[in-house]
Amino acid sequence: MEYLQGLNSSQRAAVLQINGPVMIVAGAGSGKTRVITYRVAHLIKSDVDPFNILVLTFTNKAAKEMRERITKVVGPEAKNIWMGTFHSVFAKILRVEAEKIGYPNNFTIYDTDDSKSLLRAILKEQQLDDKLYNANFVYNRISSAKNNLISAAEYQKNEHIQAEDFSSGRGRLGEIYQLYTQRCFKAGAMDFDDLLFKTNVLLKEHPDVLYKYQNKFKYLMVDEYQDTNFSQYLIVKKLAAINENICVVGDDAQSIYAFRGANIQNILNFEKDYPDLKVFKLEQNYRSTQNIVNVANSIIANNKNQLKKNVFSENETGDKIRVSRAFSDNEEGKMIAESIAQERAVGGLRYHDFAILYRTNAQSRAMEEALRKLNVPYKIYGGLSFYQRKEIKDLIAYFRLTFNPNDEEALKRVINYPRRGIGDTTVERVIIAADQNNITLWEVVTDAGKYLDSRSATAVSNFATLIQSFQVIAKNQGAYDAALHISQHSGLLKDLYEDKSVEGLSRYENIQELLNGIKEFAEREDIAEKGLDVFMQDVALLTNDDNDKNPDADTVSLMTIHSAKGLEFPNVYVVGLEENLFPSQMSLNSRSDLEEERRLFYVAITRAEKKLTLSYATSRYRWGTLTSCEPSRFLDEIDAKYLELEFRPRQKSVDKNPFFDNERSAWGQKQNDTFSKPKPPAAQKTTSILPKAHVPSPGFAPSDTSGLQVGMEVEHERFGFGKVINIEGSKPDLKATIFFKELGQKQLLLKFAKLRIVT
């Protein structure tokens, strides 16, 4: 059992405990993935059949990484483990059992855009006010209901829900939910939430099916258990009911998805479900420096609702955590961009060693502008993924329609793209005919002469014939050949090829990239079924964390903290640490919401390996108005001995802030006392605490520093006045060491420093 040799005592104990209920509380950077993979490998080495092991994750990326690691230990047997995301695993089960709940086995999986498109159509048909019944709001309301296992019928019977809807002027939400459910069913489609909702229905209404999978999955492991919602919790509990060989892994301190329905109580109360539970705590952080870990601990200690653990690090002590204050959000961006450029040059780092994390997407603007001005390459994560681009969704709609002609959203998307003489009026007539006769759109399309005038019927019939020809091709050819045929004969590839604009070329190349991906899929040796329908299921189940992330790209990473979970970087900047921004204003109404914001801050801090910078602005534009900002209360919660301040925080605020005690510094009296102590002369060279912010000289303008020499006096617009004490390196990467009167010694890269030569 060589794989056990590299584990610490806590990790090893968790791996060896294979029977009975187990909870592994894994602190940030504690080797969680290693423990999960070795535990599964140990199960197989202990003669557990891999076909009887179910491992549930939240991203395909995590599942793939785990399977690869397990394969290195146990070999090809790892292929037989049931492993994947909740949605992918239960979609696989539903494909087998769908007919028991009235669905075809080839049901379509609607993504969020498909669901919202269908809802917009229903709202339009019902002539409802789109301000009250916004498709996004309605979608979220239905999603929340499904995650809490409330069906459309139950929704309409629930007096509390109905009272809430009527009081908000949305009394017809239950009716819309019912219509949406009916339309999805008629189209042979399930949305993402249905994959869990319908699995619960299946297991509840068909005890024989539940018994079948309870006996199949003798051992269950659930990763990121703190992120499970009620629907996921119930499925897992039912499947584990007979054998109780269930192991959940997670960290309550990293539960940050309540807005998606995640319930932290699932992990906090796990012992109540399994009184014989064995708990293992992974408390050694292998990722971050001791200072970073200590800061994270001092923050999360303020949460009352948590599983206590003592996370520690045996890594180097590391730099203190830098706290930067800017006068505006634009200056904050400028400070961060300059810091990245300098740290990279001085430390010999690559751009991909840096990440900028923020609470809201809107904060990226100031960062992007500043990075562009310094020609620093960057990439925003969480933007439009490859599979959400229009041309990709268009071609995939053809694929979907080929395998499920009742897919209403796919049919409406491509029936007249590329243009084939079927206008909006004709499509409306098709929809009306389907509603009036209680049949699907496809049934109208395949018998168009019965429902439409002759001219329209001819065009619609030709479209139906085209799709039927695709069905024959898909049945008799492999994934790539079928996909290429559909892209060519649908006219889509030709339409994009004829668009010679830059955008048109890009869209054409995206289609080629999709076909390349299908080709690669078809040539994989680790899967038995390689039809286009199987590829389609893989695409439909991609999670946001799996899309469009290239770890080899040398770019600075910009992302929300929610998107950063599970990632790590040598240098991390957490920006916008201001009251009402982080923590957000919405979180200040209850302790549970505020504690989730604090967990979010904890996640941000623990993404850093070597260096961590926290920043805030004293003013920020909001809705076109410049407003003053107070530092975040979270900064006040950090023990001052771990911090290095670039600016002394403001003292008493002029404006009354209900969330701060204005009789003390915004940093808290204990920090104020610490920072106010006089420093001995020698310490002035290393501290970054400024008695006051430097105000640049009138007409400040950077000088040409090509002739800069040791002994010259210079001015920096933020650091103030100083003397050059050393110059090293060669052009264009000359570095100057400068002793600033208020700041101490700093090494700056001259091409970015923007110094004014005084004498």
Is 75 annotated in a binding site? The answer is: no
Q: For residue 337, what pLDDT is reported?
A: 94
Bond prior to 583 in cis (omega within 30° of 0): yes
Active site residues: 32-33, 223-224, 254, 607
Q: How far is 230 from 247, CA to CA, in rounded Å?
A: 18
**What structural domains does the chain harbor?**
2-85+199-282 (3.40.50.300), 108-187 (1.10.10), 320-385+546-645 (3.40.50.300), 406-528 (1.10.486.10), 693-758 (2.40.10)
Query: Taking the CB of residue 149, how many other CB atoms lie within 10 A of it?
Result: 16
Backbone angles phi and psi of 405, in degrees to 5:
-65, -15
Q: What is the pLDDT of residue 748?
A: 85
Q: Which two tokens stand for residue 45?
A: 């080495």
A 10 A CB-CB count for 715 gives 20
Give, to the nearest 10 degrees, the angle between helix 207-216 and helix 192-205.
100
**This model's pTM is above 0.95:** no
- Rounded distance, CA 236 to CA 247, Å? 10
Dihedral, CA of residue 396, residue 399, residue 401 and residue 402, to nearest 10:
170
- DSSP labels, 722-738: EEEEEEES-TTS-EEEE
Q: Cα(558)–Cα(336) distance, rounded to whole angstroms?
A: 12
Distance CA 193, CA 111 (A): 10
Q: Is 692 annotated as a binding residue?
A: no
Task: Say if residue 32 carries a ligand binding annotation.
Answer: yes
DSSP state of 662: T
The DSSP result for 552-578, as a single string, is TS-SEEEEEHHHHTT--EEEEEE---B
The tokens 């830098």 sit on which residue? 322
410-456 tens-digit pLDDT? 999 999 999 898 999 999 999 999 999 999 999 999 999 999 998 89
The Cα 283–Cα 33 span in angstroms is 14
User: Tell me, what's the pLDDT at 540?
Assistant: 72
pLDDT on residue 647 = 60
pLDDT tens for 684-726 read 333 333 345 577 787 788 898 888 988 899 998 878 888 998 8
Please state, in angstroms and rounded to a whole number, the distance separating the CA atoms of residues 241 and 597.
Answer: 34
Q: DSSP code of 214?
A: H
**Strands of 230-348, DSSP E:** 246-250, 278-282, 321-326
Tokens of 455: 């001219």
- Both tokens of residue 226? 């703190």
What SS3 class is residue 332?
helix
- What integer pLDDT is reported at residue 383 of this predicted model? 55
Place of tokens 């946001």: 544
Q: Which residues of the chain have pLDDT under 50?
A: 544-545, 547-549, 623-624, 648-691
Beta-carbon contacts of 205 under 8 Å, excluding residues fewer than 6 positions away, are 100, 101
Task: Look at residue 552 in the predicted model and tell me its pLDDT.
Answer: 63
Q: Is 29 annotated as a binding residue?
A: yes
**Pick from 583, 673, 595, 681: nearest CA to 635:** 583
CA separation for the pair 645, 321 (Å, rounded): 8
Residues 6+ apart with CB under 8 A from 739: 685, 722, 723, 725, 745
Q: How far apart are CA 568 and CA 579, in angstroms?
A: 26
Distance CA 168, CA 5 (A): 60
Name the residue among 104, 112, 97 with its Cα closest to residue 186.
104
Answer yes or no: is 57 a known binding residue: no
Establish whether 91 is an annotated binding residue: no
CA 340 vs CA 322, 345, 351, 506: distances in Å = 13, 9, 8, 31
Distance, in Å, from the CA atom of 561 to the CA atom of 580, rounded to the nearest integer, reads: 16
Is 26 marked as binding a ligand?
Answer: yes
Residues 6+ apart with CB under 8 A from 755: 702, 703, 705, 708, 714, 715, 716, 736, 738, 748
Q: What local confidence, expressed as pLDDT, does residue 297 receive?
A: 94
On whether 611 is known to bind a ligand per the annotation, the reply is: no
Task: Let me know: does 307 contact 610? Beta carbons within 8 Å.
Answer: no
| Cβ neighbourhood burial of 262 (10 Å; 0-12, 13-18, 19+) | buried
Q: Which residue has the tokens 């040799």?
A: 5
DSSP 67-124: HHHHHHHHGGGGGGSEEEEHHHHHHHHHHHHGGGGT--TT-EEE-HHHHHHHHHHHHH
CB-CB neighbours of 161 under 10 Å: 17
For 490-505, letters b (16+ CB in 10 Å) and e give bebbebbeeeeeeeee
